[in-house]
């Protein structure tokens, strides 16, 4: 197996990743600042942050954001973990129905759905479990679905340099279900295609046909 070398600095710049993380003291300071902000929010919406049900809410919210926004600090080298392999295979590789959960950057409300990813190798393939991890890295940050879709495609394209990459994301957005237009059944589909998927309509159509097939015909 060939040694896997990743230009981390380039990936950091392209995808706003800070893989070195935050020093414990600085992390504690940031958590305390988030907790204080949540207390202020509770007060300003007319609540009492000292009542029993809300006493630990600032701490819970701070820890929640640390989890839901972990994608900013995911180390791509550790995530890939040498799971890049040289193979003599040049047919389409598809991983579909990858569940994701993200936060809309406009209202900080959740949006969630499924991502479907395909690529055609150019001498290298990536471990199967790594593609859902790549999706998580970009979903777990403040996002818009369009940009998330592009980032997943561009990251895979940058890391394994395939003949082509295609990504389709399906999502439902709480900001349009709970507020605004209040359309509970509206969903959004975004796509990003690179290389042969962009240049060859037949390849792109084959991918779309594959992801249109549902396992249980639901």
Domain boundaries, the chain: 20-68, 83-212
> What integer pLDDT is reported at residue 158 of this predicted model?
93
Residue of 145, 150, 151, 163 marked active site: 145
pLDDT value for 23: 72
Distance between first and last Cα of the chain: 41
Note if 175 is an active site residue. Answer: yes
Told to judge if 163 belongs to the known catalytic residues of this protein, a careful annotator would answer no
Reply yes or no on whether 26 is catalytic: no
Q: 80-115: string of b/e by CB count within 10 Å (b at 16+)?
A: beeebbeeeeeebbebbebebebbbeeeeebbebeb
Which parts of the chain sit beneath pLDDT 70? 1-8, 19-22, 213-218
Annotated active-site residue 143? The verdict is: no
Query: 116, 150, 151, 173: which is the annotated catalytic residue?
Result: 173
The pLDDT value given to residue 17: 76
Q: Tell me which of 104, 116, 150, 151 is the catalytic residue.
A: 104
- In this predicted structure, what is the pLDDT of residue 217? 41
Place of tokens 């940058």: 158
Answer for the pair 74, 19: CB distance below 8 angstroms, yes or no: yes
pTM attached to this predicted model: 0.88
The one catalytic residue in 12, 47, 73, 107 is 107
Q: Which CATH architecture best describes the domain 20-68? A: Orthogonal Bundle (1.10)
Predicted pLDDT of residue 20: 58
pLDDT at residue number 216: 36
CATH match of 83-212 with 3.30.1130.10:
yes
For the chain, give the percent of residues with pLDDT over 70.
Answer: 91
pLDDT value for 99:
98
DSSP sequence for the chain? -PPP---HHHHHHHHT--TT---HHHHHHHHHHHHHHHHHHHHHTT--TTSGGGTTHHHHHHHHHHHHTGGGG--HHHHHTT-EEE-S--S-EEEEEEEEEEEETTT--EEEEEEEEEEE-SSEEE-TTHHHHHHHHHHSSEE-HHHHHHHHHHHHHHHH--SEEEEEEEEEEHHHHTSTT--TT--EEEEEEEEHHHH-HHHHHHHHHHHH--TT--
Q: Considering 36, 105, 146, 210, which one is annotated as catalytic?
A: 105
Question: Fold match between 20-68 and 83-212?
Answer: no
pLDDT at residue 1, as a whole number: 37
- 108, 101, 141: which is closest to 38 by C-alpha? 108
206 included as an active-site residue: no
Residue tagged active-site, from 47, 73, 170, 175: 175
Give, in degrees to the nearest 5, the angle at Cα 148 between 117 and 8. Answer: 85
**Per-residue model confidence (pLDDT) at position 15:** 79
Q: Find the angle CA(76)-CA(82)-CA(85) to the nearest 5 degrees.
A: 120
Residue 128: the pLDDT is 93
């Amino acid at each position: 197996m060939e040694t896997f070398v990743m230009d981390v600095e380039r990936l950091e710049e392209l995808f706003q990743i800070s893989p070195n993380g935050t020093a414990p003291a600085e992390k504690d300071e940031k958590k305390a600042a988030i907790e204080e902000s949540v207390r202020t929010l509770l007060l300003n919406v007319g609540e009492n942050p000292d009542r029993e049900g809300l006493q630990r809410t600032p701490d819970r919210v701070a820890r929640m954001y640390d989890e839901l926004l972990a994608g900013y600090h995911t180390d791509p080298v550790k995530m890939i973990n040498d799971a890049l392999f040289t193979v003599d295979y040049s047919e389409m590789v598809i991983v579909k129905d990858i569940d994701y959960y993200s936060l809309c950057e406009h209202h900080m409300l959740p949006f969630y759905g499924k991502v479907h990813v395909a690529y055609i190798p150019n001498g290298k393939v990536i471990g199967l479990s790594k593609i859902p991890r790549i999706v998580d890295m970009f979903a777990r940050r403040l996002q818009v679905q369009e940009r998330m879709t592009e980032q997943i495609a561009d990251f895979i394209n940058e890391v394994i340099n395939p003949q082509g990459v295609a990504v389709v994301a399906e999502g439902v957005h709480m900001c349009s279900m709970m507020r605004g237009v209040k359309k509970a059944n509206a969903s959004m589909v975004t796509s990003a295609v690179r290389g042969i998927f962009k240049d060859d309509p037949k390849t792109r159509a084959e991918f779309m046909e594959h992801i249109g097939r549902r396992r249980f015909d639901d």
